[in-house]
Structure 1
Amino acid sequence: MLELLPPLNDHNLPWMDTIHPIVVHFVIAMAVISVIFDFIGVFARRPNLFEVSFWNLLVATVAIFVAIIFGQIEAGLASPYGASRDILNLHSTIGWSLAAVLAVLSAWRYVIRSRDPRSLPLPFLGAGAVLGLLVAVQVTLGNQLIWIYGLHTVKVVEVLRAAQI
């Protein structure tokens, strides 16, 4: 069955380059802008921003599952080494947790929006702040995997392949 898959390239991937970071940057932007618009909408008394925030949150919730699918595939092909294994496992766990948090927040936001689209309760803003914190931690872990450990970079893949000979 494995012979049906395309051969791995110099990034150790069956496609041109990593797809997970592309999709996940979209998720990061949508989730963060959703939280920012919520806070601006509440403190500047601009409830029209709540609509923009809602749709950003909804799109982020859908997109995170696409990011997770590619992230899991690419993590499986990454050949993590040393401390990068633990960081990759934590990154994966927080990624799935973020998907759950986004899904719950989207559902909660939908209920809030259907009851009164012109206001947000403070507990929801607090949950948004927690979302922002989780996203910041996740970004830090992802950056470590790329910029410190170089997973899926050509040089690291070459070294790991040479070591397996």
Structure 2
Amino acid sequence: MPNIHPFLVHFPVALLTTALVFDLLGILLSREELSNVGWWAQLAGTIGIAAAVISGLVAESQALIPPAAAATFDTHQQLAFVTAGAFTALLLWRVGMRTRIDTTRRLLFISLFAVALACLWAGAWYGAELVYRFGIGFVLITP
């Protein structure tokens, strides 16, 4: 089975970043339609992060992780699980909050979303380290 993890991981990063930007714009400009874009981007990004985690587990079963990369891999994987859980919880909170939106709840939600997004970016950085520093996922071709 081909490794689709490198293809899938970019979608949640882009979509969840977009969600935060549009949610902030919706608050700052008092435009509900911008917050609606944030909602759809969050929904798609949360589905995407689930797909990325599942494909990462499949990729792990097929990869050889050298001992030098073990700590980086463990950190990448732990951040993936934490962020998947955080974004799932935030999505459920948002679904429940849709009828009771006040400024305090919205600002708390945005703050927690930003923290979860920072964890997602950190996990992406560790994933890039695995590829570009340790060469995991590359097939080396000798001339």
TM-score, normalised relative to structure 2 = 0.89
RMSD of aligned C-alpha atoms?
A: 2.1
The one-letter code of the counterpart of 1:27 is: P
Q: Does 1:60 align with 2:48?
A: no
Q: Any stretches of 5+ residues in structure 1 without a counterpart?
A: 1-13, 159-165
2:66 alignment partner, one of 81, 88, 95: 81
**Any residues of structure 2 matched to 1:8-157 within 5 Å, and which?**
14-15=1-2, 18-116=3-101, 121-155=106-140
How far residue 118 of structure 1 moved from its aligned partner, in angstroms, is 9.8
Deviation, structure 1 residue 22: 1.1
**C-alpha contact 1:47 1:118 (8 A) present in aligned 2:** no
For residues 48 and 144 of structure 1, the distance between their equivalents in structure 2, rounded to whole angstroms, comes to 38
How far residue 91 of structure 1 moved from its aligned partner, in angstroms, is 0.9
* Distance in 2 between residues matched to 1:83 and 1:117, nearest whole Å: 49
Deviation (angstroms), 1:120: 5.9
Runs of 4 or more off by more than 3 Å in structure 1?
116-120
Task: Tell me how far apart the structure 2 counterparts of residues 108 and 152 of structure 1 sit (CA, whole Å).
Answer: 36
| Residue of structure 2 equivalent to 1:5 | none
Other structure's SS at 2:140 match:
helix
Q: Quick check: 2:16–2:41 contact (8 Å CA) kept in 1?
A: yes
Distance 1:91 1:151, change over 3 A: same
Deviations 1:64-88 (A, max 9, x none): 2211111011112211113311111
CA distance in 2, matches of 1:118, 1:134: 24
Find the structure with the greater CA-based Rg. Answer: 1
Deviations 1:80-117 (A, max 9, x none): 11331111111111111111101110011112213349
Q: Percent identity?
A: 26
Which amino acid in the other structure matches residue 67 of structure 1? A
User: Residue 99 of structure 2 aligns to a residue in which SS?
Assistant: helix
Contact 1:38 1:50 in 2 (8 A): yes
Q: Could you list the runs of 5+ residues in structure 2 that have no partner in the other structure?
A: none
Quick one: structure 1 residues 117 and 22, their matched pair in 2 at CA, closer, same or farther if it must change by over 3 Å?
A: farther
In 2, Cα distance between equivalents of 1:67 and 1:96 = 10
TM-score relative to the length of structure 1: 0.78
